[in-house]
Amino acid sequence: MQGPVFGSCADRAQASLVVGGMDRGSCACRHRFGQNSPCHRPHFGAAGADARLTPDSPLIHGASRIGVRGLGVELELPLDAVLEGDCVAALRRLPPASVHAIFADPPYNLQLKGSLHRPDHSLVDAVDDAWDQFSDFAAYDAFTREWLSECRRVLRRDGTIWVMGAYHNVFRLGVALQDLGFWVLNDVIWRKANPMPNFRGRRFTNAHETLIWAARGPESKHRFNYQQMKALNDDVQMRSDWFIPLCTGHERLRDAAGQKLHPTQKPEALLHRVILACTAPGEVILDPFLGSGTTAAVARRLGRRFIGIERDPGYAQAARARVAAVEPLSETAALVAPTRREQPRIPFGTLVENGTIPPGSTLTDKQRRWRATVGADGSIGCGRAQGSIHAVGAAVQEAPSCNGWVFWHVEQKGGALRLLDLFRTEALAAR
Ligand SMILES: C[S@@+](CC[C@H](N)C(=O)[O-])C[C@H]1O[C@@H](n2cnc3c(N)ncnc32)[C@H](O)[C@@H]1O
């Protein structure tokens, strides 16, 4: 295993963070990161890179890194790598504004008291690992704020973060996120199809966990792959409650003795939805608490790049092996429909100009409650309302907004109505 080389900031080559032993596969792209350096190209290179962060690795100090950016020198990211070490230290070595998305499944601070048994007296395999122990809430909060601050620094301006937790910790995570300037977009409920029963019968069955989805800040123009989420949900808008089973069966990693390899391995279906919702192929998703490597494995399958950080050498090694075994989807399968924002735009005026909907045509809504006349400049008029197809659609319905493309129709010969959006689709296809 060869470790990463952390050079000084004196020159670009040395300032680059190089991951030894990394197989970039067919990807020739060198990711250089600044706030405005998107890379949306799909990469399907091999993964499972091996990068060990040791306490004596030379560091690129935070202040120098900022200075390096200021001088226009670009840093590189250790892509498709499982970095071994404490996530705060590892994050500090990454360049600012460099990753598109973050998924974090941090320690829960479960504060378990005593052991738990099933009615048949068998012992419940609870999460009592050292990594989940904190002396008190203050220590947990301090840790949370430390890693979240570093995550915010490495997240691109328009990037988003997912932080998941259970009732033990999720409220503390939420406060920290908001205090640090993140902008909460949703709290998604992962409703477990097969939760563990409440054996003592003194509380409700704990059947869900919460994923807080937040943008870097209120000004972020975050990516939400709305159409893809809808397609994933049988063409119905995706809701914020997700019904997904726990990770069991062949997906659950086991050690040589057949025991669960990791106590909190998350289902791949959960990460599939997360990654598909907020990234494009080729974009970079970072997981500071990689555990068994679920985020990395799904990212690789979906043609995304990943950076995983894990403190436990055994888990890190298992994650590398898991990722190396993943077969990425073909580019065609991984590439999905572009978002509406990414689609080429066509103004209504263009359809008027080119005679598809000539000036003087009449537009009407589906129920034929309102009739509007098309002007030569692409505006429409309906009674006292005058303006764009969207503004007039909103005005007549007394609604705050309206998508005129799917509100207005054109009356065809014979009286049938045709949705305005169909004319636009045809015009786009003809381009
Ligand atoms: C809740 S588990 C994540 C499980 C993961 N999502 C999966 O599907 O396997 C949290 C992981 O964070 C690791 N961890 C805890 N503290 C850490 C730290 N300071 N830096 C890096 N990793 C840490 C633990 O070893 C554990 O594997």
Helix (H) or strand (E) holding 209: strand 208-215
Helix (H) or strand (E) holding 149: helix 137-154
Specify the range with the lowest mean pLDDT, choosing from 1-5, 375-379, 397-401.
1-5
Residue 420 has pLDDT above 70, yes or no: yes
Instruction: Please count the other Cβ atoms lying within 10 Å of the Cβ belonging to residue 303.
Output: 23
pLDDT, mean of residues 408-417: 92
169 lines ligand 1 (CB under 6 A): no
- The angle subtended at Cα 193 by Cα 241 and Cα 120, nearest 5°, is 140
Res 332: pLDDT: 62
144 lines ligand 1 (CB under 6 A): no
Closest CA to ligand 1's atom 3 = 291
5 Cα to the center of ligand 1, angstroms: 24
Instruction: Give the atom of ligand 1 at the shortest distance from the alpha carbon of 287.
Output: 6
Instruction: Give the atom of ligand 1 at the shortest distance from the alpha carbon of 294.
Output: 8
- Region of 72 (left: φ > 0; alpha: ψ -120 to 50; beta: rest) is left
Both tokens of 409, joined, read: 């129709």
Specify the range with the lowest mean pLDDT, choosing from 5-14, 150-159, 281-290, 355-364.
5-14
Residue 143 has pLDDT above 90, yes or no: yes
What is the distance between the alpha carbons of residues 81 and 313, in angstroms, rounded to a whole number?
Answer: 14
Confidence label for 276 from pLDDT (cuts 50, 70 and 90): very high
Res 193: pLDDT: 86
Res 111: pLDDT: 67
105 lines ligand 1 (CB under 6 A): yes
348 Cα to the center of ligand 1, angstroms: 51
Res 124: pLDDT: 67
**pLDDT > 70 in the chain, percent:** 77
Confidence label for 127 from pLDDT (cuts 50, 70 and 90): low
Count of H-run helices and E-run strands, the chain: 14, 19
309 Cα to the center of ligand 1, angstroms: 8
163 Cα to the center of ligand 1, angstroms: 12
251 lines ligand 1 (CB under 6 A): no
265 Cα to the center of ligand 1, angstroms: 10
Confidence label for 234 from pLDDT (cuts 50, 70 and 90): confident
CA distances from 140 to 90, 136, 265, 308 (A): 19, 7, 21, 21
Closest CA to ligand 1's atom 7 = 265
- The angle subtended at Cα 208 by Cα 203 and Cα 209, nearest 5°, is 115
Closest CA to ligand 1's atom 12 = 289
Q: Helices in 155-293 by DSSP H: which ranges? A: 170-179, 226-232, 268-278
End-to-end CA distance of the chain: 52
Which residues, in sequence order, are CB contacts of 234 under 8 Å at separation 6+?
Answer: none
Closest CA to ligand 1's atom 19 = 86
**pLDDT > 90 in the chain, percent:** 59
Cβ contact 102:151 at 8 Å: yes
The closest of 8, 289, 258 to 129, measured between CA atoms, is 289
Closest CA to ligand 1's atom 27 = 291
Res 299: pLDDT: 97
What is the distance between the alpha carbons of residues 288 and 155, in angstroms, rounded to a whole number?
Answer: 12
107 Cα to the center of ligand 1, angstroms: 6
- Higher model confidence: residue 233 or residue 149? 149
Res 198: pLDDT: 86
Q: The pTM is what?
A: 0.68
Cβ contact 291:315 at 8 Å: yes
